[in-house]
Structure formats: C-alpha cells, structure tokens
Structure 1
Amino acid sequence: MKFYLCSILSLLVVFGCKNNSEKAKENYAYFGGEVINPNARFVTLTDSEHHTDTIKLDGRNRFLYKIDNLKKGVYTFKHGGEFQTVLLEPEDSVLVRLNTLEFDESLVFTGNGAKKNNYFINEFLENEYIEKHILRLCQLEPEAFEKSIDSIRNAKLKKLEPYTKKCSASKLFKKIAKANIDFQYYSSKEAYPFMHYGQDKGAFLKSLPNDFYSYRKDINYNDTFFKSYHNYLRFLKHNINTLTLEKYTSYPDYKSFNWNILRYNLDKLEIIDSLVSNPEIKNELLYHFTMKFISFNNNQDKTDSVVNSFLEKTTNEKAKIALTNYTKSLKNLEIGSSLPAIEVLDFNNTEHNISNLINNTPTVVSFWSHIYYNHFKKSYAKIKELKMKYPEVNFITINIDEIDVEKPKQTFKTSKFSCSNQYVFKNPEASKKTLAIYPMTKTIIVNKNQKVVSANANIFSINFEEQLLGVINQ
C-alpha cells in the first residue's frame, strides 16, 4: 500500500508542478484509494446535485478517478451501504484508505487536499463522543445546559481558528467547518426538551428562557448549498420536532405528549409543508418523518392518515411508490397474521421456509447486514444475553445482504460467534420488501402458532422483554 500511494502521489505531484509552472488553476480533482474487506466491487461518488459516478475497484481493491469540470464542494462516496463525505476543490488529489469492518474509524485521507478532509473525519468521530456527553448534559436545568454547550461550541471555534490560518484554508472549507459547529450546537438545543428527564415535555418546553432559540431567526429552511448535507438535514429534523411540539402543546385540550400521537405527526407534516419550499429538502423531510412514524406504529387507521398526508404534500413520485409498497407489506404483518412464506438458507446452504423454523415455539426474528457492522456486533451480544434469560424462546437471525452464505459464515467464524440459527435470504431483495425491513433494528416476534405478535419490535427497546414475556405466557 505504501508503494502504491507513493507512486500515485508522485504522479499527482507532477501534475501539480505542471500547473504551478503554467500558473493556471485547472478545474479538476483526483479521488482514489483502497478498500479493505470490500462489500462490493466498486465505490460511488455523488455530488450535491446527485450526479453519481461509479468507480470500479481493481484486483487489489484500489481505485483512482479523475473528475473533470469539477464542481467544488462536498461529495458523498459510498461503498456498500456505508458512506462518508469528502470536500473536493480544484487540483485536489485525495486518496482514502478504509476498512469496511470499521468504516469511519479506519478512514484516513492522504494527498493534496487531505488535511481538510482529515479535519472533517476527525471532527465527525469526535462528535460521536460529544453527542453522548450532550445526552448527559440534557439532564441539567436550562441555564447549566446552555452554559455547557456554549462552552463546547466555543472550544470548537477556538480549535478551528489556528487550523484555518496554518493550512491557508479556503473560504469553502471555512464555511463548511463553521456550519458543522453551528448545526451541532443548534441540534443540541432543539433536542434538549425531548432528552430532558421530565415527563411533561410541553411544560418543560414552555419553561425555557425566551431567548433560548434566538438563533432561529437566521435559519434558512431552503438552503440550496447545504440541501444534501447530513448535518443541516439532521438539524432541520430536530428543529421540526421542536416546532411541532410547540404547536401541539398550545392546543387547549393538550394533556400529554408521546411520539405516536396522530395529531402531533400530522402537524409535523403541515409545518414542513409551510416552512420548506425547496422540493428536495421538503421531500426528504416528509419521507423521513412519515417512514419513522409508520415503522413504529401498530394502528392502521393512524398509518393511513399520515400516509395520505404525505402523498398530498410530496412531489417525489418514487418515494410515493416506495412508501405505498412499504405500507402494503406492513399490512401483511399485522398482529395475528401469519408470517409470509420466505425462503432462507442456513450456513450449510440448506433451504428452509422460515415458517418451518418456528416449530410451535415463540420466536424472535432479527436481521443484520455487513453494511451495519457495529449493529451486527451489538445485536449478537444482546441476543446471546436474551437466549440465556429466555431459553424457551427461539432466536433466528437473518443476513439481508445480496451475497451467498460463505461471507456471513466467515464473519461469524472470524468473530468467534456461534453459527447456529443463522440464515441468509434466498431472494434478498424480494424478502426485504415482503418483510418491510426498515429500520435495521426491526425485529419480528411470532408466537408458537406462527402468528405475528409484533412486526416492529426492537431488541434494544426498554419494553422488549415485556413483549417477550407476553408471548411466552400466551
């Protein structure tokens, strides 16, 4: 790898010297690197306008791609289902090295343009720890909470200042780096009422200082530059949640709040429709909140109401079809329905109908993917714990990837996990649609009579064991 990187970097330096001597700033960039433990034979690179280039890996899992007529800005590169971002500006030559088993943690940039991107990935990883800390800070009272997150924000800004001077950072880098800090700060404030330990979210929201959300006057709900940017969209989602809570708790008949209240969720879609005019941002927010609601809702009438509101407001025809089909799949998994006939393969490549694996025993069916490797490790540990506590329950785990049994089998052996009751779908794409597998934490509980008890359980939920005890005692 060292020789490979040095060779490419040497080549790119030659191009750079040529440009310097000619004193012409050419509008191109190189993006390349190496993928360890690849999940596919290619990576994709997508710009802010969703134009995507597919780049094949060579026999050594490496790639190099020249982008002509570069649109400087943040690009998204994907491999399998994992993704990260890279800032590309004219004459950059950025190489990335990553291991899919620890996608974000292993990611390192080299080459011209690497410093700014290593700053962003390091900030991304640091924010994962900071967010856990902020969850604890959310238990503080408003004045102490605000003081704490102000301190975090100021420390980030102070850290950024010498970096921008030292590296002669571009205006574009400064704009994105400052926005990252602001969006995280704003998101923390918007999430605060929901994360605070108090039960009455409405009363707590009303108790906040009048200037607590003073930054809202500067919010652009139709920012075309950041429209595809994760941190911007994440902030908007938190903000929409809080704005809707403000509206919902203002009703004269308001009594209490929970996430599945129909009126609250319909209000949320109305607020998006009123605030956001950019079609891309609006469609993204509408789809996100509608999918989130129907994925955890067990009342069909409520689901129909929210879906109908979504269909009236979105202009994304593909999203309409996808969500309509997803809703149909959920209807086939209603409480009391039979589990659909799905064919799976065990690690010996023997075919089974999933219904035949239940054998008059309460059964938990969960799913995993190499794409979400951390989820895989955590869920395996959780299921191992549950098996010890509930030996009368049958636990089945299914890999959802478009692969044969050898890769998941090897993953289990490498991790020194037991291969018993582990399966892959015979027809992954069709099976995922039939079982409406979204989100990845989705778990199906089936009773001994092969009837669905819950199609949207979560093994990490605080009430999961209560659900298990219910099916055991049937």
Structure 2
Amino acid sequence: MKLYLSLIAIALMFFSCNNNSNKTKVEFAYIGGEIINPNSKFVILEKGTTALDTIKLDGRNRFIFKVDSLKKGLHTFRHGGEYQMVLIEPEDSILFRLNTLEFDESLVFTGKGSKKNNYFINEFLENEKEETYVLKLCQLKPEAYQKHIDSIKNRKTKSLEHFEDKYEVSELFKRIAKANIDYSYYSSKEVYPFAHYGKNKGAILKSLPVGFYDYRKDIDYNDNFLKDYPNYYNFLRRNFSNLSLETHYDHAKSKAFHRNMLCYNLDRLHLIDSLVTNSTIKDELLHHFTIKYISLSNNSESNTIILNSYLEKTSNEKDKALISGYVNSLKELGEGTKLPSLQVVDYNNEEYELNSIINSPTVISFWSSTLYDHFKDSHHKLKELKEKYPEIKFVTINIDDMGVEKTKLSLKSCRFNCNDEYLFKNPKESKRLLAIYPMTKTIIIDQNKKIVNANSNMFSVNFEEQLLGLINR
C-alpha cells in the first residue's frame, strides 16, 4: 500500500501548492483502492451513464486513477456485477478497500474525502437493514405506522446534523445527504399500501389519514440533479406503483389486486409517460417495469401487449432491441417446447449438448459469482430440495465467462460439490436464448425433455407444488 499512499501524498502536496498560489482552480481528484478476491481485472468509473474510464488492476489487485476535468458529484465504480456510489469533489484523494465476497459490507474509504463517503456507505447499509423493519411495521394501522417512520426520519436527521457539526462538509454533500433521508422516508410512505396485509388495496388507500401523501405536491419527476441517484429511483418506482394503484381502482371491476395484472401495468406505463419528460429517468422507469412484468409472466399475448406499450413510449433504441429479443426468446421457451441446442461444460472440462444431460424430470437453475448472496442461498436451497425430491434431477449452470477453474474454486470455497454443475461454453448467446433474467429464474423440464415452466423460481411459495406436479405427470 506504500506506493498508493505515496501517490496520494504527492496529490495532496499538489493541491496544497495550488491553494497557496490561488492561481489555478483544481478540477481533478484521485481515486484508488484495493480489491480482495477480484472478479475481473478492471474497475469501471462512471459519471451518470457515461463511463469515464476502465482502470486495470495491477498484480496486487490495486489501482490509482486521476479524474481529470472533474464534474463534482456522485460517481459509480463497478467491479464484476457489483457497484457502489462515491461522492467525488475537487481536491479529493480517496482510497477504498473491499472484498468482493462481502462487497458493500467490507467497503471502507480512507484519504481526503473519505469521511463523507464512509457516512454514505454506513447510511446505505443501515437503509438495507431498515427495509426489513419497515416492511414489518407496514402491518400497523396507518397512524401508528406514520409515527414509527417519523421517528426513523428524525433519528437520521439528528445523526446528519451531528456529522455536519463535527466535520467540514460541502453544500453538495448536505444536499445529497438530505435527499437520502427524505426519499427513504417518502419510499416508506409509498410502500405501505402494498406491504399492508389484505388484497383489497383500494380499501387500504381509503384508510390513510388526510395528509399522508402531502409531500407529493413538491416532488420533481424530472430532477436532473438526482437522476443518477438510487434512492430517487427507488422512490419513483414505488410512487408510480402507488399512483397507478389509485388509477387502477378507478376502473377495476374487482377489489382483489395483484401486481402482475395487465391493466394495472399498462396504467403504470401510461402514467410514467404522462408525468416524466426527462428521457433518462423515463426510459429507466419504463424499462424497469416492462422487464419486471415480462419476467414474471408466462402469457405471451400479455407480454406482447406490454412490449408494444413500452416500445411506443421509450426513446432508448438499445433497450427496445434487448426487451424485444427477450420477449421473443420467452416465446420460443413455451410450455411443451424443447430447450434450444446449447453447449455446456462440466468441471472435468467435458462438453455436452444441454438436452443430452436431461434424462428424467429436471430443474435447471443458474448462478453468477457476481451475485454472491444468490449463489449461496440458491445452493443451500438446492441441497434441501435434492434431499426432499430424489426423483428430480437438479442441474445448475454458471452464467459467467470466467473458465472452469475459477468457477470451480467459487464452489469449493463454499464447500459445494460439483455434481450436476456446469457452465456455458458461450455464455452471452446462451443467456439470450434461455432469457435468463432475473437470476432467480428456474426452468422445469419433464422426462420427455419438454418444458413445463420456463419462468419458475425456486424461492416462490408454490415451487414445491410445481415439483410435485412434475413428479406426477
């Protein structure tokens, strides 16, 4: 680490000289770090949707990078399939250290500009824990619920005030930190009708006290400053889901509600189109809700209707092609069809055609080393299912392009065996043909190699019911 500390020291000396001379305005910063158990040899630094650079790790999995012509604000650094935000301002010289096995939890910043970023990562981790707690609180009556989340907001506000009293912070930090608190609070308000028990969501909406959503009148649906900020998007997703719920009940014939109702999802896409004019924000929201609907649907006709609505509203040509291809791939995987011909490789480096390894009722699931929690949870779940349903073959396929040895190492490091484990010979094409999204996707195949369900999920409440049906076919 001495080399990196020396580089940062040099940077700080340069900043100091500039400040003393008052001749040059500093418009750059340094960011560097060390990544333990790297998933690739690169770190990507982005500002918004623009990639600033792809930075190669050295032989000790470290890097240092000078951000020239700095546009101060939130940046994203990506490694493998994971990412996190970092606030970079002029004269910052930020180092971080993380372990990919516990990406967010292990992340620690040092150097000039570290305190504000450690504040943000701690807030991020607290918000993750808080999410589960808030969902439990949603079973309270509205007045009691509001009292609890008001208390959470007040605690966060006092914590921020204490931080600002203790450290010198910029106006930019204050603005982002306040937005973080506000939009977390607003999100808690928006989720209440969905998380509260009962299928009659219309009745829940009517039970809310007057003023429960008063903050909505001040929401900017086209906030260019926050457009790259995750908490803002999380709020918008919940807000549009809630607003669409109100619209839905204006014309719904039934009081019962479920999130994948076609008319409700069409209402939501229409509402986004009518309220959002910022193309970046609109396209992200439209993409999110469209792909989510399709990934949970086994109805090709409904998928086509949603797709057509999406195509009319989005301006993102790349996403149009991606989602259109996704819908077409799902059509090819309909019930009673056969899997496309794909090559997989086992951990002895033997190559097979995918259909050739199916000789009994089979469940195919997928994993990636970049989604570590899912990797562990799914393998523990599979172990349980294999013991309960010995009549079924459980095949697991890694979707990464890392080679046999590195993928095998991931399995062995967690003490998972390699039986019925494979990886794709051509991951990119295989993921497209099998429409692998989200990662929880599971494909159920009968003894005749015919698809029973190409869009299942081993964590769903009715999954074992589907397995019993497979056995009894």
Normalising by the smaller structure, the TM-score range is: over 0.9
Supply the AA of the counterpart residue of 2:430.
S
Task: State the distance in 1 between where 2:278 and 2:417 align.
Answer: 49
Structure-1 residue corresponding to 2:137: 137
- Provide Cα deviations, 1:297-356, integer angstroms capped at 9, x if missing partner: 111111111000001111111111111111111011111111111110000010011111
Contact 1:55–1:65 (CA under 8 A) maintained in structure 2: yes
Contact 2:8–2:30 (CA under 8 A) maintained in structure 1: no
Cα displacement (A) at 1:5: 4.2
Supply the AA of the counterpart residue of 1:394.
K
Cα displacement (A) at 1:438: 0.5
Structure-2 residue corresponding to 1:337: 337
**Which ranges in structure 2 are unaligned for 5 or more consecutive residues?**
none
Structure-2 residue corresponding to 1:112: 112
Task: State the distance in 2 between where 1:109 and 1:226 align.
Answer: 23
* 1:52-71 to 2 correspondences below 5 Å: 52-71=52-71
- Provide Cα deviations, 1:402-457, integer angstroms capped at 9, x if missing partner: 11110111111111111111111000000000000101111111111111111111
Contact 2:12–2:91 (CA under 8 A) maintained in structure 1: no
Structure-2 residue corresponding to 1:277: 277
Task: State the distance in 2 between where 1:458 and 1:175 align.
Answer: 40
Task: State the distance in 2 between where 1:252 and 1:201 align.
Answer: 12
Task: State the distance in 2 between where 1:458 and 1:29 align.
Answer: 45
Supply the AA of the counterpart residue of 2:468.
L
Q: 1:354 to 1:424 in 2, by over 3 A?
A: same
Between 1:78-87 and 1:204-213, the stretch displaced more is 204-213
Q: Secondary structure at the match of 2:370?
A: helix
Structure-1 residue corresponding to 2:14: 15
Structure-2 residue corresponding to 1:389: 388
Cα displacement (A) at 1:165: 2.1
* 1:312-323 to 2 correspondences below 5 Å: 312-323=312-323
1:37 correspondence with 2:45: no
Task: State the distance in 1 between where 2:380 and 2:425 align.
Answer: 25
Supply the AA of the counterpart residue of 2:9.
S
* 1:296-315 to 2 correspondences below 5 Å: 296-315=296-315
Contact 2:70–2:90 (CA under 8 A) maintained in structure 1: yes
Supply the AA of the counterpart residue of 1:213.
Y
Contact 2:15–2:26 (CA under 8 A) maintained in structure 1: no
Q: Secondary structure at the match of 1:111?
A: strand
Supply the AA of the counterpart residue of 2:141.
E
TM-score (norm 2): 0.98
Structure-2 residue corresponding to 1:407: 406
Supply the AA of the counterpart residue of 2:7.
I
1:465 correspondence with 2:468: no
Supply the AA of the counterpart residue of 1:432.
K
Q: Secondary structure at the match of 2:453?
A: strand
Q: Secondary structure at the match of 2:447?
A: coil
Structure-2 residue corresponding to 1:375: 374
Cα displacement (A) at 1:52: 3.0
Between 1:229-238 and 1:194-203, the stretch displaced more is 194-203
Task: State the distance in 1 between where 2:444 and 2:205 align.
Answer: 36
Supply the AA of the counterpart residue of 1:181.
I
Structure-1 residue corresponding to 2:184: 184
- Provide Cα deviations, 1:10-52, integer angstroms capped at 9, x if missing partner: 2233223223322354111111111111111111111125243
Cα displacement (A) at 1:208: 1.0
Structure-2 residue corresponding to 1:220: 220
1:449 correspondence with 2:448: yes
Q: Secondary structure at the match of 2:251?
A: coil
1:161 correspondence with 2:165: no
Between 1:335-344 and 1:247-256, the stretch displaced more is 247-256
TM-score (norm 1): 0.98
- Provide Cα deviations, 1:268-293, integer angstroms capped at 9, x if missing partner: 11000000011111111111100000
Contact 2:290–2:306 (CA under 8 A) maintained in structure 1: yes
- Provide Cα deviations, 1:223-270, integer angstroms capped at 9, x if missing partner: 001112111111100000000000111226233211121111111110
- Provide Cα deviations, 1:189-231, integer angstroms capped at 9, x if missing partner: 1111111112211211221112111110011000001112111
Structure-1 residue corresponding to 2:358: 358
Contact 2:199–2:258 (CA under 8 A) maintained in structure 1: no
Q: 1:93 to 1:392 in 2, by over 3 A?
A: same
Q: Percent identity of the aligned residues? A: 58
Task: State the distance in 2 between where 1:285 and 1:263 align.
Answer: 17
Supply the AA of the counterpart residue of 2:410.
T
Supply the AA of the counterpart residue of 1:288.
H
Contact 1:369–1:376 (CA under 8 A) maintained in structure 2: yes
Structure-1 residue corresponding to 2:206: 206
Contact 1:193–1:204 (CA under 8 A) maintained in structure 2: yes
Contact 1:457–1:464 (CA under 8 A) maintained in structure 2: yes
Structure-1 residue corresponding to 2:149: 149
Cα displacement (A) at 1:164: 1.1
Contact 1:116–1:173 (CA under 8 A) maintained in structure 2: yes
Structure-2 residue corresponding to 1:245: 245
Q: Secondary structure at the match of 1:249?
A: helix
Contact 1:269–1:309 (CA under 8 A) maintained in structure 2: yes
What count of residue pairs does the alignment treat as equivalent? 472
Cα displacement (A) at 1:73: 0.4
Structure-2 residue corresponding to 1:418: 417
- Provide Cα deviations, 1:37-90, integer angstroms capped at 9, x if missing partner: 111111111112524311111111111111111100000110111000000000
* 1:120-135 to 2 correspondences below 5 Å: 120-135=120-135
Contact 1:25–1:91 (CA under 8 A) maintained in structure 2: no
Task: State the distance in 1 between where 2:337 and 2:202 align.
Answer: 37
Q: Secondary structure at the match of 1:371?
A: coil
1:235 correspondence with 2:235: yes
Contact 2:40–2:79 (CA under 8 A) maintained in structure 1: yes
**Which ranges in structure 1 are unaligned for 5 or more consecutive residues?**
none
